[in-house]
Amino acid sequence: MTGMALHLLKLCVGCESIGDLEEWIETSAALARRLGKPYEQIHTTRMVPKRVEEILDGGSLYWVIKGRIACRQRLSDIRPFTDPSGIGRCHLVLEPGVVPVEPRPCRPFQGWRYLEPKNAPRDLGAELGAALAEMPEDMRRELSSLGLL
């Protein structure tokens, strides 16, 4: 990651944990393999980011799970398109690897938001040690809510 890349922040609707997200990705990839199709993880949004070049310069989509920024996935492409109803939409193309980050509270919001590099939580394990990254997610969430992480 370049460090200057702009990121996106989005609610991970329907996920209770990072494990849920990883399981969904693996299930989708397995289905594509069974059908003999290449797998590409795509998340569809209504609004197209205006700052595409900055985002694609190493940016990630940070997922909010259960009221906390919990993890990120690197963005590999942003593809605006028009759906069959004539409505403009956007495909966010994600690398399938999920990187847990320092959990941080985040209020619910609609759509996505830009996340400046200086405000992005650090990856777990990068500077905090692998032990914290190995800790069960619910325990990290609880310790974080108590102000201990």
For every residue of the chain, DSSP letters joined together read --SS--EEEEE-TT-SSHHHHHHHHHHHHHHHHHTT----EEEEESSPPS-HHHHTTT-EEEEEETTEEEEEEEEEEEEEEE-TTS-EEEEEEE-S--EEEEEEE----SSEEEE-GGGSPPBTTTSS-HHHHHS-HHHHHHHHHTT--
Model confidence band, residue 139 (pLDDT cutoffs 50, 70, 90): low
Residue 144 confidence (pLDDT): 61
When pLDDT is averaged across residues 7-12 and rounded to a whole number, the result is 96
Residue 4 confidence (pLDDT): 78
Residue 1 confidence (pLDDT): 44
Residue 143 confidence (pLDDT): 64
When pLDDT is averaged across residues 35-39 and rounded to a whole number, the result is 94
Residue 2 confidence (pLDDT): 45
Residue 2 or 30, more confident = 30
Domain definitions of the chain by residue range: 7-40+60-74+98-145
pLDDT in tens, 55-73: 999 999 999 999 999 999 9
Cα dist from 66 to 9, 132, 143, whole Å = 14, 19, 15
Residue 89 confidence (pLDDT): 95
Residue 149 or 32, more confident = 32
Q: Would you say residue 149 has pLDDT above 70?
A: no
pLDDT in tens, 81-138: 999 999 999 999 999 899 999 999 999 899 999 999 999 999 987 555 555 556 676 7
Residue 125 confidence (pLDDT): 74
